[in-house]
Amino acid sequence: MSYTALARTWRPKKFSELIGQEHVRRALVNALESGRVHHAFLFTGTRGVGKTTIARILAKCLNCEKGVTADPCGECASCREIDAGRFPDLIEVDAASRTKVDDTRELLDNVQYAPARGRYKVYLIDEVHMLSAHSFNALLKTLEEPPPHVKFLLATTDPQKLPVTVLSRCLQFNLKRLPVADIAAHMRRILEQEGVGFDAAGLKLVAQAADGSMRDALSLLDQLIAFGGGQAGEAQARAMLGTISRDHVVRIVELLAAADTAALVRSAQSLEEFAPDYAQVLDELAALLVRIGLRQAVSDYEGDELYPPELLERLARALTAEDVQLFYQIAIIGRRDLGLAPEPRTGFEMTLLRMIAFRPAGESSVTRTSAADPAARAAASAAGAGSAPGASGPSGAGSPAEAASATDPWATIVNALELSGAARQLASHCVFVGRQGAVVRLALDARNQPVRTPAQEEKLAQALSRYFGEPVRLEFQVGGAGAETPALLARRVSEQELAAARRTFEAEPGVQGLRERFGATVLPDSVRPVK
C-alpha cells in the first residue's frame, strides 16, 4: 500500500495554484507573456515557502510543447516529465552535496550543448550558497556569457553567503513567509477534498506551528491525521504539538485581571501535570492578549477560530488597555528569557508574578505613595497639615475627580502621573493654581520656561486627563517664584534627610571614638541617607 505525502500530492503545478507570493508570480507571468525572460533567477526565502516549486513551474512554462507560456498545459510530455522529475533538460542539483569545483565544472561542461528534448536547458541549483568559492568562480563565467538556450534557476535560504558578483547577474526574488490565515485556509481546502474531518481551531494551531512554511504545515497535517486516527481535531493537535488547552490560558488572563496572585500561582503550578512547553504557553498567552487589545481598539473585531468575540469582549472589559500592553510586553520578554531561568516552570511562574507586581495602580490606589520617594512623603505630610491646593470656582466642586484634586497636593498628583523625561520635568517645576471644570491652571517661573514646549504640554495634559478621568486642558501663567514646586519640595526633603543622616552618623559612638583617638574627620559627601 503506497501513500503520497500531502506536501507532494498538493504541490502547485501552475502559477494559479500558488498560495501567496503574489509579487513573484506577477513578475514571472509578466516576463513570460512579454517574452523578456532573464537568463538567471535567484529565489530566496526560508524553508517550505515555494522556492523550488516556483522554479519547476517556470521550467514547465519555458518547455511546454504548446510554446512558452505563463499557463503550461500540464498534459504534454514535457510538462508530465517535469512534474515526475525525469525531464532530461531540467538538471536539478543539490549544491550541499556538490560543493567541489570539479563537480561544478563537470556540471557546466554540458552547458554549451543544445537541449535534448526541450526548448531550454534549465539548471535548478538548490541551496546554491553551499558552493565553494572556486565553484562560484566556475559558475560565474557561465552566468556572464550564457548560451541562449540555457536558463539558471538558483534557490537558497541564505543569500548573504552568495558573492555579490553572482547576485548582480541574477534577478532576485525574496519569497515571504506565508500568513497563518492563508496556510489554514489551504489546509481546509485540502481536507475537504480528501474527505478528512477537522476542527478549524486545530488547523489554526498547525498553521501557527508551521511558522510560515506551507511544506512544514502539510507535513504536520499528515502527522496530525495519523495521530488523530484519520481526524484533524483541536484536542489531537494540542496533544501532538504539546500545547495546553486554551481554557488554561483564558483562566490565567482572568486571574491576572482579578489580580488574584494565590490562584494565579496555583493555576500555573497545575500546568505541570500536562508537561507543557512553557515557551508555547507564553506564546499563546501573548497571542490572546493581542486579540484582547484588538477587541479594545476595534469594536467590531470578531476574533477567530480559537477565541470567539463574546470571550474577547468579556476579557476586554475585565482589563484596561494599559494592563493588556504591560502583560503582553512581559510575556514576550519572559519568553525570550525563559532559557536563562533555573528551569522553564519557575521562569514561567516568575513571568506571571512580574505581571502582577508591575501592574499599574488602579483608581483606588492611584494616589498611593512610595515610602522611598521624598517628594511623596513630604506631600503626604503637607496634606496632613492642610496645605493642599483646592479647586477654584463654583463649578469646581462637583465631580469626584475635582473633589480628589481638592485633597491631593500637586506633588502627589505629579508622582501619580504616567510621565517621564521632559514632560515630568515640566510638571515638577509648576505650581498648581487651581482647576475650574476642564481647565487646570498652572504657574511656571520664568526661569523654567525653557522646559515648556507644545509637545511636553500635550503629554502633561494627556496624563492629567487620565488621572482625573476626563479630558482637561492646561492654562499657564508666568509666576510662582518663591512657591515650593514638587522639584523644590523633593530637593528640600532630600537635603533634610541628608542632614539628618550626617547628624546620626556623627553621633555614632564608633565614629566619635575614631575622632577622639585618631583625629579622624568625616567627609560630608561620603554620607548618604539609606532609602
- Looking at domain 246-357, which of 1.20.272.10, 3.40.50.800, 3.20.20.70, 3.40.50.2300 is its CATH number? 1.20.272.10
| pLDDT score of 402 more than 50 | no
| pLDDT score of 351 more than 70 | yes
Mean pLDDT of 353-368: 62
Residue 502's CB: how many other CB atoms inside 10 A?
A: 17
pLDDT of residue 494: 83
Residues across the chain? 531
365-488: what fold? GMP Synthetase; Chain A, domain 3 (3.30.300)
pLDDT of residue 237: 87
pLDDT of residue 369: 34
pLDDT of residue 385: 35
Residue 247's CB: how many other CB atoms inside 10 A?
A: 8
Per-residue pLDDT band at 399 (split at 50, 70, 90)? very low
Better-scored residue on pLDDT, 59 or 112: 59
Better-scored residue on pLDDT, 186 or 96: 186
pLDDT of residue 481: 61
Q: Which CATH architecture has domain 180-241?
A: Orthogonal Bundle (1.10)
| pLDDT score of 371 more than 70 | no
Q: Break the chain into its structural domains and give their ranges.
A: 6-174, 180-241, 246-357, 365-488
Q: Do domains 6-174 and 365-488 have the same CATH topology?
A: no
Range with lowest mean pLDDT among 107-111, 325-329, 353-357 = 107-111
CA distance linking residue 492 with residue 23, whole number of Å: 65
The CATH code for residues 6-174 is 3.40.50.300
Strand, coil or helix: 73? coil
pLDDT of residue 55: 93
Instruction: Name the residue among 447, 392, 402 with its Cα closest to residue 425.
Output: 447
pLDDT of residue 123: 92
Strand, coil or helix: 87? coil
Our separate counts of H helices and E strands in the chain read 24, 10
Per-residue pLDDT band at 355 (split at 50, 70, 90)? very high
Q: Are 56 and 64 in contact (CB under 8 A)?
A: no
Query: Which residues, in sequence order, are bridge partners of residue 449?
Result: none
CA distance linking residue 118 with residue 169, whole number of Å: 24
pLDDT of residue 482: 65
pLDDT of residue 332: 92
Range with lowest mean pLDDT among 265-269, 446-450, 455-459 = 446-450
Per-residue pLDDT band at 379 (split at 50, 70, 90)? very low
pLDDT digits (tens, 9 = 90+) for 189-204: 999 999 999 988 889 8
Distances (CA, A) of 134 to 91, 140, 247, 444: 21, 10, 57, 73
pLDDT of residue 289: 94
pLDDT of residue 360: 66
**Burial degree of 404 (CB within 10 A; 0-12, 13-18, 19+):** middle
| pLDDT score of 372 more than 50 | no
Percent of the chain with pLDDT strictly greater than 70: 87
| pLDDT score of 415 more than 80 | yes
Per-residue pLDDT band at 38 (split at 50, 70, 90)? very high
Cα 202–Cα 207–Cα 209 angle in degrees, nearest 5: 95
| pLDDT score of 238 more than 50 | yes
CA distance linking residue 153 with residue 169, whole number of Å: 12
CA distance linking residue 138 with residue 493, whole number of Å: 77
Per-residue pLDDT band at 1 (split at 50, 70, 90)? low
Mean pLDDT of 260-264: 90
Percent of the chain with pLDDT strictly greater than 90: 32
**Burial degree of 223 (CB within 10 A; 0-12, 13-18, 19+):** middle
**Cell numbers that stand for 194 in this block:** 480528501
Instruction: Name the residue among 187, 207, 208 with its Cα closest to residue 198.
Output: 187
